[in-house]
Homo-oligomer: A and B are copies of this chain.
Amino acid sequence: MDEAALRLAIGDLNAAYADCIDDDRLEEWPDFFVENCRYLITDRSSHEAGLRHGIIYAASRGMLADRVMAMRGANIFEPHRYRHLVGPARIDRVADGIAEARTNFFAVRIMHNGDSQLFATGRYLDRIDVAQTPFRFIERLVILDSQKIDTLLVIPL
């Protein structure tokens, strides 16, 4: 696969990921990750300080599925949706079937009553298994620009 095709495919992965969340098909979300994955939402300062835990953390696909189930079932929260706008993926490195990429994003949150606001901005730092299709995230770090995290962060980003 040449570089242009790889970019296109990673761009597709990012778009499909965002659609899955924005369309509230969260049960499909874990399938964007390999079994032994790492998913983390943190903020820039914490990330730069080398802290390895964050606001949302999962170390396996099972943990992602558990999170969705908990969200659907037990948690009580005001219904809302996101709308992502995702920039072009930048591929830093490809080796041994793993691509390292980073992508800027904006996420707007739309509340059930119609209020909407720019909720989060930041960057995805990804390690992606590109040795087989469909591509899957080995690691997706969601680095939020702001450390002022809304308490209503239940849906993944």
Which residues of A are interface residues toward B (Cβ below 8 A)? Answer: 4, 7-8, 11-12, 15, 18-19, 22, 44, 81, 83-88, 90, 104-106, 108, 110, 113-118, 121-123, 145-148
CB distance from A105 to the nearest CB of B (A): 8
**Chain B residues whose C-beta falls within 8 Å of the C-beta of A4 in the assembled complex:** 4, 8
**Chain B residues whose C-beta falls within 8 Å of the C-beta of A18 in the assembled complex:** 104
20 example contacts (A-B, Cβ-Cβ < 8 A) are as follows: A4-B4, A4-B8, A15-B87, A22-B104, A44-B81, A81-B145, A83-B106, A83-B122, A83-B123, A83-B145, A85-B104, A85-B106, A85-B121, A106-B106, A106-B108, A108-B118, A113-B148, A114-B146, A114-B147, A114-B148
